[in-house]
A and B are shown apart, each in its own frame.
Chain A
């Protein structure tokens, strides 16, 4: 039970954050608004990856496919001749991505995590190749979307979309019945089944959710950058970044992806401006991922003093834990963790 003072502090800082983000365009220039639009997008992308990777414990290496589906849905529907309203294209992308996730997830989620990782990776690469070849997606030439010079519009679009994502994650996964189901499946599937949980269905629901959300962000992105092709919206690098941002920030934690996305995206922007190339960024996030897994598996969130995850860090470092000693039992977990 949190003491009242801490709840007040959390609420206040949350309000401050909301005010800060909402009024951002008023006091920085266009360049930085664009940067923060990117931050908002990646924070949302990482959070959606976190649903299947962090909360459900199934690492997907194909999330970019859903981002790309959303981007292409919006781009295709906004082509001359179809001329859909931008906002109406977003749900279409989300539905298509969700259905795709259902089809791919159904056989693969029954298996071990490693197979799922491989299968999703293969799915994304295959999709990129198909999109590159087929006509109605513009093939390797890509598609253009109608121009819209309103930088602020896109900032708010991304911000609102990402905020909705975080609210969904909070209400669906942090506090709710569904959240307990997902986390139970993650922690021990056999035990979850013995408690009546249909684990395959739960995994599928989490996967579909994790697919529909980046599709919306992809749709906004397509409209924003006015030109998309498989390289820009279906590249494996996009999934890589989602994975690293979530892991660096904190897996299975509400704010982990946001922290990871902010830190890494700002770092990449700085690197790009400074050195003009993005390959150094790839090396950097690869190294960072390896180091985090080795030394800080809870991510940056684990550094926060009040994070519950701190207890796991303490256990790993074998620091004394006052609570278990007081109970008069010796501490120490048992059994293997496969």
Chain B
């Protein structure tokens, strides 16, 4: 059984085909990266997977269950977690309250102690009582990552989770990703940072203009002519 099975997914907005027939599978415990130029449909794909927007056609199944067209909250309850390209903390709550809010649809009694654990693991205990609105961009991304951990989803979508994050926080996030994968989680990662992609992704899917143009390991992707032309660019000589 695949963690995620996507079949011929399509989505148009008006006349524009944002996602034009995407099919791929993600196995359990895999870390798959999705790269491609801006406007290639990556974020739309994530929105389709998380149930934020419905597909025009196609099917998505999560751990064997069909989740096509289910609203976002139901998909989340089936075991999918995601971060957003622009961080979305609960700005009127403190960091700790943000984490507690993430636990409302799960085990409540242990929420407080679990929140403390997450705070420790992400090394943000010292700002636990600060309002999320006062956090820096990098800290907000970390917080979003922490919120996912409170829910313990099986499959996690990370949307440019390390963009604009300083190296120290980046290392923490990467360590946690590896740690969670050891515990059986599956990751789908949108990234522009090639260094990160090389370090952590086992398989890479390249998208352009709403379609998948290539799939393979980092080395294969880096060598592929079409990908280089569309996205990576040639190295400076």
Direct contact between A and B judged by beta carbons closer than 8 A: yes
A197 and B87: CB pair below 8 A?
Answer: no
Q: Which of B26-34, B74-82, B176-184 contacts A (4 or more CB under 8 A)?
A: B74-82
A196 at the interface (CB under 8 A from B): yes
A312 and B104: CB pair below 8 A?
Answer: no
B104 and A181: CB pair below 8 A?
Answer: yes
B93 and A324: CB pair below 8 A?
Answer: no
User: Of the candidates A190, A198, A326, A333, which one forms a contact with B52 in the assembled complex, judged by CB atoms under 8 Å apart?
Assistant: A190
A153 at the interface (CB under 8 A from B): no
B25 at the interface (CB under 8 A from A): no
A333 and B134: CB pair below 8 A?
Answer: yes
- List of B residues within 8 angstroms of A199 by Cβ: 73
B101 and A195: CB pair below 8 A?
Answer: yes
CA distance A68 to B140 in the complex (A): 45
B35 at the interface (CB under 8 A from A): no
Q: Which of B125-133, B195-203, B221-229 contacts A (4 or more CB under 8 A)?
A: B125-133
A315 and B97: CB pair below 8 A?
Answer: no
A311 and B134: CB pair below 8 A?
Answer: yes
B77 and A196: CB pair below 8 A?
Answer: yes
CA distance A197 to B138 in the complex (A): 25
CA distance A84 to B147 in the complex (A): 52
A193 and B52: CB pair below 8 A?
Answer: yes
A85 at the interface (CB under 8 A from B): no
Range of interface residues on B (Cβ < 8 Å): 35 or more
Tally the A-B contacts, defined by beta carbons under 8 Å.
120
Number of interface residues of A (CB under 8 A): 37
Known: A183-B90, A187-B92. A197 touches B104 (CB 8 A): yes
1/0 per residue B96-123: CB within 8 Å of A? 0100111011101000000000000000
User: Of the candidates A177, A252, A332, which one forms a contact with B136 in the assembled complex, judged by CB atoms under 8 Å apart?
Assistant: A332
User: Of the candidates B86, B101, B127, B134, which one forms a contact with A184 in the assembled complex, judged by CB atoms under 8 Å apart?
Assistant: B101
1/0 per residue B154-193: CB within 8 Å of A? 0000000000000000000000000000000000000000
CA distance A1 to B39 in the complex (A): 47
Q: Name which of A184, A198, A308, A327 has the most chain B CB atoms within 10 A of its CB.
A: A184
Q: Tell me, rounded to whole Å, the shortest Cβ–Cβ distance linking A335 to chain B.
A: 5
- List of A residues within 8 angstroms of B87 by Cβ: 334-335
A312 and B131: CB pair below 8 A?
Answer: yes
B90 and A191: CB pair below 8 A?
Answer: yes
- List of A residues within 8 angstroms of B88 by Cβ: 188, 190-191, 335
CA distance A180 to B92 in the complex (A): 11
B100 and A180: CB pair below 8 A?
Answer: yes
Known: A187-B93, A188-B88, A333-B91. A198 touches B73 (CB 8 A): yes
B133 and A333: CB pair below 8 A?
Answer: yes
B: which residues have CB within 8 A of A? Answer: 50-52, 71-73, 76-77, 81-82, 84, 86-93, 97, 100-102, 104-106, 108, 126-127, 130-131, 133-140, 144, 147, 151
Q: Which 5 A-B pairs have the closest CB atoms?
A: A196-B105, A187-B90, A196-B76, A193-B72, A191-B88
29 contacts across the A-B interface (CB closer than 8 A): A180-B97, A181-B101, A184-B93, A188-B90, A191-B84, A192-B101, A193-B51, A194-B52, A194-B81, A195-B76, A195-B102, A195-B105, A196-B76, A196-B77, A199-B73, A311-B131, A312-B92, A315-B133, A326-B126, A329-B136, A331-B134, A331-B136, A332-B136, A333-B140, A334-B86, A334-B87, A334-B137, A334-B140, A336-B86
A: which residues have CB within 8 A of B? Answer: 177, 180-181, 183-184, 186-188, 190-199, 252, 308, 311-312, 315, 321, 323-324, 326-327, 329-337
